[in-house]
Amino acid sequence: MTVDAPTTTPLFEARNLTKAYRQGDTVVEALRGVDFAIRSGELVVVAGPSGCGKTTLLNLLGGLDEADQGHVRFAGTDLATCPESGRTLLRRRQLGFVFQSFNLVPVLSAFENVEYGLWLVGVPKAERGRRVDEILAVVGLGERSRRRPAQLSGGERQRVALARALVHDPLAVLADEPTASLDSRTGTTIVDLFARMNREKGTTFVLATHDPAIIDRAPRRLLLCDGLVVGDERIGPS
């Protein structure tokens, strides 16, 4: 991936981030005192094996879950002290999410899946249509916008999910194992789209993955193991 140098503004800040889950009588420590910062405009891969805490970390960065200790600050807002209503608004306006299982509404078309988030925040119909048509064209689905998810390939469904994440011009997109359900060629195409949006729009991307094909191309890699950041590697301008 070739990306422009990011700005020096910290967009995400994690300090002493700790999260544990109880499974029966066992306590599983998903994150154990994680510290890092991600600047606006970066494309960062969070890499590590299954069970190392990647999904937990993304959920905390996106305000989908709360830390047991420590805090996450996003765009100057401390998510630990922000009420749920504020986190919901932040997710709708400033964050985009791409999930491994796509999470598309099966009864809605590609166009309607992408449009739905704009409708939730009150964007007028004409403006919604313009934005959705534009982003579906960018991800190469302009001719298939009226198809429902079941009528699309896995790669096309992931493109719909990416369009949905980008349509409101978020500050950052969080993607959890975005290529896990795709063949290698389609996965490469999806990651190329991430890099293109990062380069052209300055959108910050945080991709959680254990896919070597993505990790090897990443300009920055946060390496997780057993709930700890064990490496922070940068390739290219810092």
In tens, the pLDDT along 107-154 reads 999 999 999 999 998 999 999 999 999 999 989 998 999 999 999 999
Residue-by-residue DSSP string for 14-69: EEEEEEEEEETTEEEEEEEEEEEEEETT-EEEEE--TTSSHHHHHHHHTTSS--SE
- Average pLDDT of the segment spanning 203-217: 90
Pick the more confident residue, 181 or 120. Answer: 120
The neighbouring-strand residues paired with 12 are 38, 74
Percent of the chain with pLDDT over 70: 95
Angle at 232 between CA 231 and CA 235, to 5 degrees: 130
Question: Quick one: CATH architecture of 10-232?
Answer: 3-Layer(aba) Sandwich (3.40)
User: What is the three-class DSSP state of 104?
Assistant: coil
pLDDT at 49: 87
The neighbouring-strand residues paired with 46 are 208, 222
pTM of the model: 0.90
Domain ranges in the chain are: 10-232
In tens, the pLDDT along 3-41 reads 555 556 689 999 999 999 988 888 889 999 999 999 999
Phi-psi domain of 207 (left: phi exceeds 0; alpha: psi -120 through 50; beta: other): beta
Q: How many whole angstroms separate alpha carbon 203 and alpha carbon 43?
A: 8
User: What is the three-class DSSP state of 107?
Assistant: coil
Is the pLDDT reported for residue 236 higher than 80? Answer: no
pLDDT at 47: 94
Structure tokens at 225: 């193991």
Is the pLDDT reported for residue 237 higher than 80? Answer: no
List alpha helices for the chain, DSSP H.
54-61, 84-94, 110-120, 125-138, 154-166, 184-201, 212-215
pLDDT at 238: 42
Phi-psi domain of 181 (left: phi exceeds 0; alpha: psi -120 through 50; beta: other): alpha
How many CA within 13 A on the CB side of residue 131?
A: 21
Percent of the chain with pLDDT over 90: 66
Highest mean pLDDT: which range of 6-10, 23-27, 99-103, 228-232: 228-232
Mean pLDDT of the chain: 90
